[in-house]
Amino acid sequence: MNTAASNHILHLDLDAFFASVEQLDHPEWRGRPVIVGAAPDQRGVVSTCSYEARRFGVHSAMPSRTAFRLCPQGIFVPGRYERYAELSAQVMGVLRAFTPCVQPASIDEAFLDLSHVHGLPADPVETARQLKERIRATTGLTASVGVASNMFLAKLASDLHKPDGLTVVPVDPAEVQAFLAPLPVGKIWGVGPKTAQVLAKYSLRRIGDLQKTSVEALRRMLGNTSGEQIKALAHGWDNRAVQPEEAQEKSISHEETFPVDCRDPEQVRMALWRLAEVVGQRLRQAGLLAGTATVKLRYQDFRTVSRQMPIRPRSQADRVLLHCAGALWSQFSPGEPVRLVGFGVSALCAPGQEPVPGPQQQLLFADEPGVAMPAQEQRRNACLDQAVDRLRQQLGADALRRGWWPPAQEPGKHEVAGPDGPQK
């Protein structure tokens, strides 16, 4: 099998990253079940766990109390996200020493494009081996790598033989289809439990079943866009290119345009909350903290109005961003039909690189847990955000709906605690 012909895409995934860091820093925990997240006597979830804990059925996003029942001998530890970010940065530095074309997908995984890079072995599999060895020597961590001709196949391959795996996908299209055929449909991006249930009604349980199904039939089952996308991926087709990370982003924002001008403030508010969550996920994927939040509304007459506020201290937590979105939303005049709503953050920096605050800066929402929250609650919320991010990445953006939202306030009537005191 000629793997060098077009297998130039690698996907690298650090194995049980948070738990592995804890075992790295606490050698006495190696070989023992380590569970990162909330303590079992608290309300909260597992962020991640070591492979020793997974043998007991523990997994990400599981309530910590359930994890304790399954694995009472487990070592429960809170997340140390500055330490994880530090090691993640070291790993990304190793990757960029091999190729400048590196696209981080999250704090513990990245895509690499080896094409047009001189000085590397002709065989990408040998490059993958060297990459794994360099990461282990530099950080003490293990990683699983998938080698393939495109991003979808490389990502799928890296997950097949964990931990410390190296999986190579064939190059020949017929061999690619044979490689994919026995795998469950849930291995395809965008196929979560609900979609899998729909497919199972038609006896479509393996990727090979999808390969034999016409795109017209999949469109009828799943809709035009999803049907076409899943059909393409079932054959291993993916034409996306690895996008190297440019200079640090200056801002991150998302907008939603309503099909018809929206006259329902509650609908606008809920759209704003969803956008804030999307921005939060992107912040965490980039490993950045935000210092400013902005809400933008475009009205029926195309007039655009925005409101902005500082975030002190800087944050990437959903709960903080949702409180900021709510405070800014309350400053708009109610009742006007809204055409577009947007939420964004700026003044971005990496953890540990925050500017020293000036003497006049105060915490916003000083009486609210969303910003000036105790360290223990910050860790619990960070674990929850990480768990939700992982589930949405696996199951799709709409797989989870938040059970907690900021209190609903009527626009124009909410007090915002700013540096100069409350203001209407």
In angstroms, the CA 273 to CA 82 distance is 26
Q: How many CA atoms lie within 13 A of 202 on its CB side?
A: 17
**Which tokens belong to 351?**
């953890």
Q: What count of residues does the chain have? A: 424
Burial degree of 217 (CB within 10 A; 0-12, 13-18, 19+): middle
In angstroms, the CA 383 to CA 63 distance is 11
Q: Collect all residues with Cβ–Cβ distance below 8 Å to 405 and sequence separation of at least 6.
A: 273, 322
Question: Active-site residue numbers?
Answer: 109
Q: How many CA atoms lie within 13 A of 411 on its CB side?
A: 18
**Which tokens belong to 77?**
């530890």
Give the rounded distance of the alpha carbon of 366 from its chain centre: 28
